[in-house]
Chains A and B, each alone.
Chain A
Amino acid sequence: MKKLIGAFAAGAMLLALAGCAPAATGSGDAAAAGPKAESDLVVGFAQVGAESGWRTANTKDIQDSFKEAGIQLKFSDAQQKQENQIKAIRSYIQQKVDVIAFSPVVETGWDAVLNEAKDAGIPVVLTDRAVDSSDDSLYVTFLGSDFVLEGQKAGEWVLEEYKDQTEPVKIIQLEGTTGAAPAIDRAEGFAEAIKSDPKFEVVASQTGDFTRAGGKQVTEALLKANPGVNLIYAHNDDMGLGAIEAIEAAGLVPGKDIKIVTVDAVKDGMQALADGKINFIVECSPLLGKQLIEVVKQINNGETPEKRIVTEETTFTQEQAIEALPTRQY
């Protein structure tokens, strides 16, 4: 019985191998035949899910950009599950799409499926999130935000804002979910930027889990235990919005008595910035559809895109927020 199963398994593997080989040569032929017409291109995109307003804006921008560019997009939603995303990528490989793009749900566990794509000769583009793999030949490029840079931008604004002050500046940091890449990198970039001047002192740093409730509760406790705080640096808008409520409850004026710097620039955050309750926001843009189209076109033309492409992002002051708010998409 065991032998029989063994024979079947071996047969199945042979079939799988046989299935792979022609696909690889097939796409090789296509590459040799030169670039396809853009209207013939097919791109498979495996999205994380729809877990936040940011993500929904990301999805919409990608879908709109492809429609505008006239390139066919096959879209799938993994509902925050890696297995769903792997299934979606496998189906794209079977459908022999020209480019696969995806935002990995988690950092690890992609080597097998990415190798399948590589064997099939389909280039892979990572968007928004990176994978943790020793083999960087598995993907063509990583297109997304540079979280360290975002932290640095926030820190630089703080340096500028307090450049005339000689007394120490007491800072509370509201960290994102412990261990998440944006939380680690945004803390690192900020610390790097402010370390040049010893007057900046981070008196307390706690995680608010990227949520409003978390930001509020942490700020309430930290404000009481650390009187005389000048500035709050929150790793996202939501925690900053929670901090605003805690500051108001303590009888202080957010944006004046205690200044607030955040990262993201979602609509609610921009509204608070325009209202003068937040002082500065570093954008973390979900609108990377246009850049993704560029990458797809480059690959089609046989060019090699940069290995790391940083999303085009800006920063907002209160005045800029008032201007940008009416046309803000997310």
Chain B
Amino acid sequence: MNATIGKLAANRLFWPVVMLLALFAINLVAFPGFFAITIKDGHLFGSLIDILRNGAPMLIIAIGMTLVIATRGIDLSVGAICAIAGAVACSILLGSSDPSNPATVAVAIAVAVGISLLLGVWNGFLVAVLGIQPIIATLILMTAGRGVAMLITEGQILTVNSPPFKAIGSGFWVGVPIAVVIAAVVFAVAALITRRTALGLMIESVGINPEASRQAGVRARGLLFAVYTFCAFCAAIAGIILTANQTAADANNTGLFIELDAILAVVIGGTSLMGGRYSLTGTLVGALVIQTLVTTVYTVGIPPIATMVFKAAVVTVVCLLQSPATTAAFASWRRTAALRTAGKEMAA
């Protein structure tokens, strides 16, 4: 028994999953119907569905962020790219004669994603070609990007009335929120491409030692371009979901601070900011922990003034549990336990 727990605790995902279950338990106590999922108007309805749907944009960004962080980089510009993508899509829809036409929506999304890809290439250029530190390189777009979004929206909140566009944020496909379906697809594609090929390994090797990987024949430059562009792509998709969800482009608030949530999700999921080994499943759990935390604040009824302190406390606990010191303590406890079991067996 001890040995099983020990083995589980050794897994990087152990503490994040425990934290997630603990948050679920708190919610269940505060609100007994927490796990109930019903079908309402032909779609799934319940708190867990809300968590998945509201967490989808942040999860999508966190997936891109995981790969960037694995190369020992970071992308602070994702929130600004969200705002730009939303602003571009909405202004195209508003400018068209028929915003409800699915073809118009497709064009709007394609242009928004296209522009975001260019921004990702820009980030990749600064990091890979000019060799600027990623935190500085992406800080440029983080601050300037919102200004660009403000220019596109002319400082206004652009409300669009387009059912196909709205569906991306709050619609359903076979009863499942479309946002969740999109997040699942992005997750699956990222996992397949990086884990079923050598790509993931190369990303990790660039993160651990760029020079050594270059000498081993890994083309670090192209790889960096690819991860920053993919991260911008993720940000654009997330920005479109966020914008569609509120049926309006809000240059000031769309995706505000989402980069920090995404980085936190990656870190809680056990990927080190020092680069190298990464875990997409860990990021998934991390994103769920953060979104459940938000919902917990509402269901438990924590007053807004105390919200930040509560969140900080939970995140601190997760980080402490994952710290190297705690891990080492658990490892030694596990060894002693194993020895004791072995001793008992010998005696028997």
Measuring CB to CB, which residues of chain A are less than 8 angstroms from any residue of chain B?
49-53, 55-56, 175, 178, 204-207, 209, 211-213, 216-218, 220-222, 224-225, 238, 241-242, 245, 249-251, 268
Contacts and interface: CB of A to CB of B under 8 A. Distances in A.
A52 B252 contact: yes
B47 A178 contact: no
14 contacts: A49-B155, A51-B252, A56-B155, A204-B301, A206-B301, A213-B253, A221-B50, A224-B33, A225-B30, A225-B301, A245-B247, A250-B40, A250-B45, A251-B40
Given A53-B156, A212-B250, A221-B47, A206 B305 contact: no
A268 B50 contact: no
Nearest to B251: A51
Nearest to B30: A225
Nearest to B157: A53
B295 A221 contact: yes
Closest 8 CB pairs of A and B: A221-B298, A50-B155, A212-B246, A207-B304, A225-B299, A225-B31, A178-B304, A211-B253
A132 B46 CA distance: 45
Given A207-B304, A225-B31, A245-B170, A213 B298 contact: no
Interface in B288-311: 294-295, 297-299, 301, 303-305, 307
A206 B40 contact: no
Interface in B17-63: 30-31, 33, 40-41, 45-47, 50, 54
A245 B40 CA distance: 15
Contacts of A53: 155-157
B203 interface: no
B91 interface: no
Contacts of A217: 50, 54, 294
B112 interface: no
A216 B246 contact: yes
B13 interface: no
A213 B246 contact: yes
Interface string B234-267: 0000000010011110101110000000000000
Given A56-B155, A225-B298, A251 B304 contact: no
The CB with the most chain B CB atoms within 10 A, among A207, A217, A222, A268, is that of A217
Given A205-B304, A224-B33, 12 more contacts: A52-B252, A211-B246, A212-B246, A212-B250, A216-B245, A217-B54, A220-B54, A221-B47, A224-B31, A224-B47, A251-B40, A251-B45
Contacts of A212: 246-248, 250
A206 B250 contact: no
Contacts of B194: none
B213 interface: no
Contacts of B248: 212, 268
B159 interface: yes
B168 to A, nearest CB: 14
B257 to A, nearest CB: 10
B246 A218 contact: no
**Max chain B C-beta neighbours (<10 A), residue from A56, A204, A206:** A206
B206 to A, nearest CB: 36
Contacts of A50: 150, 155
A242 B246 contact: yes
Contacts of B157: 52-53, 238, 268
Contacts of A250: 40, 45
Nearest to A49: B155
A218 B156 contact: no
